[in-house]
Structure 1
Amino acid sequence: MGRKSFFMSLEEEITLRQFGQDILTDEVLLQRFAQFSDNDRHIHLMDLYFLVASEKPLDSDLEPAITASSLPDTDVTAIALRTHGLQRGLNHLANLSEKGYENGYKLLLYVFKMAYQRHFAQEKDHATKWQYQDLSRPGMMQEIRDRQQTLAEEVYQHPGFRNEFLCIAKLHHAEQVARQTHPALTPASGNEPTVFITYDEMITNGIRHFEEQERYSRPAWLLFNALRKAIIIQYRIDDDQARRALWDVVERHMQEQYQTSLFD
């Protein structure tokens, strides 16, 4: 299962939706983004990409987003979106080099804002999901956190789900151990002596790494998906709430059983 890219933390989603409601400025988000490592910036960029996709942006959101972001017309992400259209152009983000992460993130923030504000205007007066409620209301942030924490605790304590969670934690821990024992090939930093490997070794290592990932990640994903469906029915909640509760419970079991994190 790996690091939960494509499903951001509750705190991060709250801040992004506050930006969408003009409660926070882009400066706050960009300053935080700049502090991440290149790997974490790519992960957060892709997390935002999937959040944008969930808001179903329109091609008509593109030009206002580019204007609001104040990015130059020569920016590679703006060019890609204009050239290929919003839906296809967003896929370009997965292939950005490190130099393009910050501008790509900024432009994506404004594409999100355009799409989100359209839905927020439609939903805010009768919203049942916190995502479209007034996030400036005093106490609202704590209410969201408390509801999620209460749900995660109930799921953790449910005896009918415990064995499945323990199994997911065990599979993920085994994947971590395998990854540490047989790490994937990574580029040299430039300080180590050059070591050449044959094509056969490259292929063999690649296949072995893939097989080890599949050995643990696929059954973990199947269990996770089955639990997600069961919890949605059990607690009458939406998919977003269920996934967050599941991640929180798996993380808790990882820490208790193996003294490690789901994201190590």
Structure 2
Amino acid sequence: MSIEEQIKIIQFGQGICPEAELLEQLDQLDESEKGKQVFDLYVFVSRLKPADADIGQAIADADIGPDYSPCISPKSGTRKVWRKMFSEHPEKDYMFLLRLFKIDYQRRYALNKDNATNWQYRDLSNRETVEAILKQYENLVEEVYQNPSFRSEFVCIAKLWHERSMQPPTQIRQDHYTYLTYDELLTESIKLLGNLQIHPISMLCHSIEQALSIKYGLDHGLANRLTLEVIDRHMRETYNSSIYK
């Protein structure tokens, strides 16, 4: 999720951006892009660790039917988080996640709206505030990109990512399943573990995210997004490609 998309979601949480606008944007995407959009929101919301009691309320607020199976749900007294693979109803998933986010965010906003150190609780109805946030983020990307302490790691990840992207795509068997079966999930996981680039990329990204979190006081989500932005810049400038393609 880009910084612009996150601002839009938080504006929705503050009651500034109407839900209809976000749903209309989702509706304009193809099925693959819809799935990515829903999953990005799923990751964003799940990191907030919303209360289990909010889940039923979000389903009721979204008016998506009593038979809807949420992609974030409580189980056995603890939160059970899982990803719906190839969902047949991405609009319902997206609407549910929006409502769940809004319930959780408004609770946090009431407690933190005077906290000027966290941009997520600033008044995002102010255009100058939004522009300042975007500029600050742009400057942070530039600073990290130019920082020699991280450069060798980013160059290495970009090289590994490029080499991986040059490999022939894996042919995925198509059948009637809406979700991956357990055996299919296990098989695909083993393939990923055997990939020569996946493990070092994951290890290096995790290391950099930890370092950025400590150095700049970032939460996990922002450190992850910042890492991907800088990797993508190296990819574009060195290989004329992108991690988002």
TM tier relative to shorter chain: 0.7 to 0.9
Match 1:246 to one of 224, 227, 230: 227
Shift of 1:131: 1.1
Shift of 1:61: 1.5
* Equivalent pair of 1:171/1:216 in contact (CA under 8 Å): yes
Q: Identity across aligned pairs (percent)?
A: 34
For 1:177 and 1:52, locate their aligned partners in 2 and report how far apart those are by CA, in whole Å: 33
Structure 2 CA distance for partners of 1:50 and 1:86, relative to 1, 3 Å: farther
Q: Following the alignment from structure 1 to structure 2, what is the Cα–Cα distance between the partners of residues 240 and 131?
A: 12
The CA deviation at 1:65 is: 1.8
Using the size of structure 1 for normalisation, the TM-score is: 0.78
- In the TM superposition, what is the alpha-carbon distance from 1:163 to its structure 2 partner? 1.5
Which of 156, 174, 178 pairs up with 1:187? Answer: 174
Cα distance in 2 for partners of 1:250, 1:126 equals 31
8 Å contact from structure 1 (residues 68, 110) kept in 2? yes
2:19 paired residue among 18, 23, 26: 26
Tell me the distance in 1 between the aligned counterparts of 2:174 and 2:115.
Answer: 52
| Aligned amino acid, residue 49 of structure 1 | Y
Q: Identify the residue that residue 192 of structure 2 maps to in structure 1.
A: 210
TM-aligned CA distance change 1:96 to 1:81, over 3 Å: farther
User: Which residue in 1 is equivalent to 2:69?
Assistant: 77
Task: Extract structure 1 runs of 4+ deviating beyond 4 A.
Answer: 78-86, 205-209
Give the secondary-structure state (helix, strand or coil) at the position aligned to 1:160: helix
**Structure 1: 5+ residue stretches without partners:** 1-7, 189-201
CA distance in 1: counterparts of 2:218 and 2:169, whole angstroms:
40
- Residue identity opposite 1:139 in structure 2: E
Consecutive unaligned residues in structure 2, runs of 5 or more: 176-183
Structure with the larger helix share? 1
1:140-174: CA deviations, max 9, x gaps?
11111111110110111112221211110000011
Shift, 1:81, TM fit: 5.3
Number of residue-to-residue matches in the alignment: 235
Q: Match for residue 84 of structure 2? A: 94
3-state SS in 1 of match to 2:49:
coil
Task: Give the match for residue 154 of structure 2.
Answer: 165
Question: Are 1:44 and 2:25 counterparts?
Answer: no
Normalised by the length of structure 2, the TM-score is 0.84
Q: Where does residue 144 of structure 1 map in the other structure?
A: 133
SS in 1 for 2:243: coil
Change (3 A) 1:249 1:132: same
Mapped to 1, the partners of 2:77 and 2:96 lie a distance apart of 14
Report which of the two structures shows the higher radius of gyration computed on alpha carbons.
1
Q: CA RMSD in A?
A: 2.9
> RCO greater where, 1 or 2, for CA within 8 Å and sep 6 or more?
1
**Structure 2 residue 46 is matched with structure 1 residue 53:** yes
Which of 10, 18, 21 is the matching residue for 1:17?
10
CA, structure 1 residues 47+208, in 2 after alignment: closer, same or farther (shift >3 Å)?
A: closer
**Helix, strand or coil at the partner of 1:56:** coil
Per the alignment, residue 119 of structure 1 pairs with 108
Aligned-partner Cα distance in 2 for 1:96–1:45: 11
